Chain A
Amino acid sequence: MMNGVLTIALNGFRESRRNRVTSVLVVFALILVFSVTVSVEFTFSTFDRVMADFGLGVIGLVTPALALFLSTGLIPREIERRTIFMVVARPVSRSAFVIGRYLGNLFTVGFLLLVMAILFLAQLAIMYATTNFGTGIHAPHLVALYGLALEMVLLTAVAFTFATLSSQFVATLMATCVYFIGHMAEDLFNLAQRTKVVPFKLLGTGLYYLFPNFDRLDFKDRATYLDATPMGELATATAYTAAYTVIMLLIATAIFERRDFK
């Protein structure tokens, strides 16, 4: 099974590399990250904060967009174009197909994140070394990038789950909603605790526990102010992402196992 998963994953990565839309997005993302340097030219003070905030903000915008775009379209497109026939008819289980496709997307988005991260960190280091602006690379920057990687892992799994049961349009809509609700999870929970209307309280609390809490994985603000994140919190965030991702993939494979490919 592992060989099948890896073969499908590597093929998915190759598909993204040859996909023109992905290439355009990659170029766009790199230009955006590079524009951090330009933004500093218009800054009078706190260069380090502007660089970190702008750079991580751009990466935090591009990565989920790419994760959503790639993950929600893939399975509906395979079924619609019937390319899936010649893969699923092979001695490959459907769960291997789903996990392989998921990993293929992860490789793609992960590769892009890695390239953007290297460019961002290089800018911090070069700027510090050549002009003495900013503070160079610090642990909170790396933690923020790690948080973005966790967010990508989880968001891809959520988008994949929706894609196994609906069209690309519906899956994109649903996954985008989950992404934004997940980023407002803490606010929703606090609001639910303050309200006196019981149904709202229950709804807010329910949504908080049901939806993935992307706020837990967001360390960008701490990178801006160079605030340290305790190791325990990082470990919890990692375990939370792993558990939620496994649950999402189990749901995705369970749905996919029952589907008819007409």
Chain B
Amino acid sequence: MFPLILPMHGLGGGADLPIPASFAIAGGTAALALSFVVLLLAWRTPRFATPGGERAIPFELAAILDSRSWTLSVRVLGMVFFGFMLWPALFGPDLLNNPTFGVVYVWLWVGVVPASLLFGRFYRAVSPACTVHLVLSKAAGRQPSEGTRHYPAWLGYWPAAVGLFAFVWLELVSPQATYLGPVRTWFAFYLAAMLLGGVIFGERWLERADPFEVYSTLLAHLSPWARNDQGDLVWISPLRHLARVPGEPGLVATVAVLLGSTAYDSWRESVTWIRFVQSGGIDQTVLGTAGLLTAVTVVGVVFMAASMATGVDDGADRRRVPRQLAHSIVPIVVGYMVAHYLSFFVQVGSQTLIQISDPIGTGANLFGTADWEVNYWFSQHATLLASTKVVAIVSGHVLGVIAAHDRALEILPRRHQVAGQLPLLFTMVLYTYMGLYLLFGA
């Protein structure tokens, strides 16, 4: 009988120092409520629903970024890196200093956030699944967007929500998270599913079912890089861009998984949770799965209830409202990712950079980074880090409230435009409070 305890191993390091907790929590929550009042008074017509608001990118830059050679180079780089990582993943030792873990859990999972915010649809540009799909389509002599069948509209983002849940389960709950076998298996299934779906449904499958591509594309809607109706690259304000997220089925589930998993990740490090899990009784994997599922479900259900309670016209279908407002969760997810993973990203990210010079543990120094030191900068500047966390969470929520407010102005009738938003505001305030409490109070 294996012991009923919680593995704290893997990629852990020191967590971060809180500033006076109740002050941060109260202040952040109040800031959110106040911003809503300001919005009510100053923002009375929907601004993001109007066409336009795009700036053309300088011709020379657009010519480079849209050129075949650029696209091809980026794809080749992505494939080369993927191919390189197959080496430690398949032939490296199953030890914690195998760079596979750092690349998957830090460079990919956390790194996709800054990469997508800065560069747009980053994952799509480098994705090995996408590249192989393009190659296969070329070989079969058909268009990449064509498949055997049409991707069913009712599926929407649901496959991505399931895929994202499967990944965060691997990362946060599985006791085998830092063993090569399960990680390899996960990615083998992932690639198989992506390629098979690509053959059946065409490119659309990747755009709706690839968990990392969907995550990256949602984040990319907060970047200034977009395309106009003619397909030209343009610059656009991030919030205006965010309003273009397609409100398809499964969107609420997707953002609920992203937000709920970060909340669970915070919660599972609390003394209360660790003591509970270690006090025996129930298998820790079962408890962890239940915890993750609960966090995701609570986030999703509360958001849905609040959205459906907004005062739309009696004729409107209330069940469609949540997915029209779900895009406002994306900035909140970014805020949580920054707050929770910033120091982790720098610390373990730099550690992975060191490890990658010695992929299979032979003492090699392929890229000259093997003698570098892990960067503990944020751990040594704890107050700055804690303040950054508060700012990140509150800003994420403020941007979310703006996005939700603008959309509400579009879909709510005039007389309900204030009172109709109160349930959603209450939810956002609650999320802010919970997010700050999980980081500083738990």
Does B bind A?
no
Q: Which residues of A contact B (CB under 8 A)?
A: none
Residues of B whose CB lies within 8 Å of any CB of A are none
